[in-house]
Amino acid sequence: MVGIVLVSHSSRLADGLGELLAQIGSSEVPVALAGGTIDGGLGTSADRVIAAISAADRGDGVVVIPDLGSAVLTVKSVLEGFDVTSVVLVDAPFVEGAVAAAVTAAAGAGLDAVVRAAEEARHVAKF
């Protein structure tokens, strides 16, 4: 199953989104969180991103969804040490992209389909 990593400047934001994903019926999807800094502050931590990727990886690939710009830079830096075909940084809205990715992964879709679902969430109208 494809894993999902949520990278946020805020551990509370990442925790809340992780809780939401579990509630929508995708609790079997490996979701790992990399929120905040090691000392509990706001920011991103390369060490937390590395640990989250390792925790979410079940062998079918990992989708990484960041919240804001510097989180993207942290993930890009981390991915220099990973197999870029199995770990994909996705340009998607944080909440909607994560939900779409989790639902698609829970359905058993492969890495490419999970990436597409997260990216396409940008175009889904809310009303």
| Domains (range + CATH), the chain | 3-123 (3.40.50.510)
pLDDT tens digits along 54-101: 999 999 999 999 999 899 999 999 999 777 779 999 999 999 999 999
- Band of residue 27 on the pLDDT scale cut at 50, 70, 90: confident
* Active site (annotated) includes residue 123: no
What phi-psi label fits residue 46: left (phi over 0), alpha (psi between -120 and 50 degrees) or beta?
alpha
Please give the Cα distance from 74 to 52 (Å, whole number). Answer: 13
Name the catalytic one among 6, 7, 9, 67: 9
